[in-house]
Amino acid sequence: MNNHLRRVYRLCVQALWILLLVLIPITSFPPLVDRVGGTPVAPLAMVPLAGILIFWMIPALVRGRKLPLLALPFLFFVAIVLLSAAAALTLGILPLRGASVLGRELRAVFTLALGVGFYLTATLLPQDDPDLRRALRFITLGGVLTLLWATVQAGVVMTGGEAVPQAFVNLHRLIAPRDLVPDRLTGMAFEPSWLGDQLVTFYLPLWVGGVLTRTSAWSASRRGWWVEALLSVWGMAALLLTRSRISYLSLAMAVGCLALFGVWQAAGGIQRRWAARGGLAGRVPSWALKGVMVLLFLSLSSAALVSAAWAYSRVDPRMVRLFQTYDRLPEVRAHYPNEVAYEVANRVAFAERVAYWQAGMATFADHPLLGVGLGNAGFFIESNLPGYAFRLTEIKDLRSGAFAGLPNPKNLWVRLLAETGLMGFAAFLTWWVLTGATALVLWRQSTGLLRLLGSAGVLGLIAAVGEGFSLDTFALPHLWILAGLVARASITPEGPSPLAVGPGD
């Protein structure tokens, strides 16, 4: 390949990478939804991903491009998924609602393949600090675009009463197949909770990470992080208006874990200072001081969480019912003595999810080693639902045939157990923990952009644990991109960057 063709090739790869990063917010592009069987999980970023895989990734791997060690546990998980899917073909699962086992597995494996593609692209394509900085800038550009659209929604949708202007609905349908919700922000995602997921697991961790580490993707100066600070405030405001309860809890989980770690470190520092001064205080054991401070922190955090929930109940009727249910708990116990938890969940519009989770766990109990195969949990959910579930409207629709397709566990962790068994769950959890540990090491021991990515990785992965109780898809790109960038940051560059386009090329 001569220099001119090499330059054009790198420009094309760079353009595809930029498009992928900017298009992350669009989770359900209507033309793609129609082509992937009607599933709402159809990210527009899969289009440039296909180009990267064909024109760069596959040739690079064939030429011997090495994977980071951090990617190996994930690929082991993928191997277990394929083994589980093959084993599931021998279980004799009958077709249900027009769906076959092979068809469900192929569709589920395709979504996982998208996740693998996003992860490996983010892991292998950037080669040095300039590549990482450029990637963070275009990620931010995509985040700004979705925040701008969400801000317009806040001005039009949330102030226009119950009816959303039809012209605005038609405009939104160009990027998402679902109509806007009058009192919640959706951004460019399929629904408000998906926007919340993007914010708490991807954009906010990167921006808040810049603030925590005093590092900016836009400036080499330590004073440039004001850009990330402004974006963090903007993103928090948008998150508040999504009214996504699981995203609020996921954010609280990430902030709480971060604060708990800080309290633990502070307790150790206080004990060392006391010991240096001597006296009675210096003889207090470190474990005792840390225990007291952690208990105090947990008590204050619990009180703050309850207070925040009470304040939120002023604007969300679902939370109003939560506090009303607490006041009427004796009445609930009297009427539903054996189903108190389900009735409480039902009063806060959460019972269907709890029922699906229990059905998924029952499926796991019947197939604990390898599960029932990726995508196949839906064949078992209806038969494993608890008795209380059959009084719920959504379950009635499911049984009557009004619900199209098969249900799913609506929980990533339950889905992993039900569909890949203990082996798949353990492999995925191993990769998850190793990625989080790597991010923590980067945060504490690196500098500059690597430290920013480390802090973002820690915050994003913790928040994603909470989000996993609501979303169970592998196809959305943002978390894979973040995990891939953490893996990339953990290794040294290998050869010249495929994104470098210099005058000598």
Give the mean model confidence (pLDDT) for residues 343-360: 82
- Alpha carbons 103 and 375: distance in angstroms, whole number: 9
**Greater model confidence, 395 or 326:** 395
pLDDT at position 337 is 65
Q: Any residues with CB less than 8 A from the CB of 453 and at least 6 apart, and which?
A: 132, 209, 439, 442, 485, 486, 489
Nearest 5°: phi and psi at 96? -145, 130
As a whole number, the mean pLDDT across the chain is 87
pLDDT at 463 over 90: yes
Task: Please report which confidence band the pLDDT of residue 334 belongs to, taking 50, 70 and 90 as the band edges.
Answer: low
What pLDDT is recorded for position 341?
Answer: 73
**Mean pLDDT calculated for residue range 176-198:** 90
More confident residue, 345 or 190: 190
Is 390's pLDDT higher than 90?
Answer: no
Model pLDDT, residue 402? 64
The whole-number average pLDDT for the span 419-438 is 96
CB contact at 8 A, 484 and 121: yes
Q: Which of the pair, 353 or 16, is modelled with greater confidence?
A: 16
pLDDT higher than 90, residue 321: no
494: pLDDT strictly greater than 60: no
C-alpha to C-alpha distance for 477 and 430, rounded to whole angstroms: 20
pLDDT of residue 503: 41
Mean of pLDDT values over 449-462: 95
| Least reliable range by pLDDT among 90-99, 134-143, 240-249, 437-446 | 90-99
Tell me the average pLDDT across 210-239: 91
Per-residue tokens: 400: 């009557």
At 269, phi and psi to the nearest 5?
-65, -40
Asked if 168 and 180 count as a contact pair (C-beta separation under 8 A), the reply is yes
Mean pLDDT of 165-181: 84
Q: Which residues contact 51 (CB under 8 A, 6 or more apart)?
A: 12, 16
pLDDT band of 323, cuts 50, 70, 90: low
Tell me what pLDDT residue 265 has: 82
Query: For residues 56 and 485, is the Cβ–Cβ distance under 8 A?
Result: no
Per residue in 377-389, pLDDT (tens digit) is 999 998 898 888 8
Which of 6-15, 65-74, 395-404, 449-458 is predicted least confidently? 395-404
Asked if 195 and 150 touch (Cβ cutoff 8 Å), the reply is yes
Cβ density class 203-220: b for 16+ within 10 Å, e for less: bbbbbbbbbbbebbbeee
Q: Which residues contact 151 (CB under 8 A, 6 or more apart)?
A: 238
pLDDT tens readout for residues 221-234: 777 889 999 999 99
Query: What pLDDT does 380 receive?
Result: 93
Distance CA 389, CA 399 (A): 11
- pLDDT on residue 55: 93
Distance CA 348, CA 354 (A): 12
Residue 343 has pLDDT above 80, yes or no: no
38 has a pLDDT exceeding 70: no
The answer to whether the CB of 453 falls within 8 A of the CB of 481 is: no
Q: What is the pLDDT of residue 421?
A: 96
Place of tokens 């989080």: 436
Instruction: Give residue 114's pLDDT.
Output: 95
Residues 6+ apart with CB under 8 A from 238: 147, 150, 151, 154, 185, 187, 195, 199
* Residue with the larger pLDDT of the pair 393 and 236: 236
Average pLDDT for residues 192-196, to the nearest whole number? Answer: 95
Per-residue pLDDT for 505 more than 70? Answer: no
Identify which of 5, 63, 116, 73 has the alpha carbon closest to the alpha carbon of residue 436: 73
d(CA 8, CA 461): 37
Look at residue 310 and tell me whether its pLDDT is greater than 90: no
Alpha helices (runs of H) in 23-156, residue ranges in sequence order: 30-35, 46-52, 58-62, 71-88, 101-124, 129-156
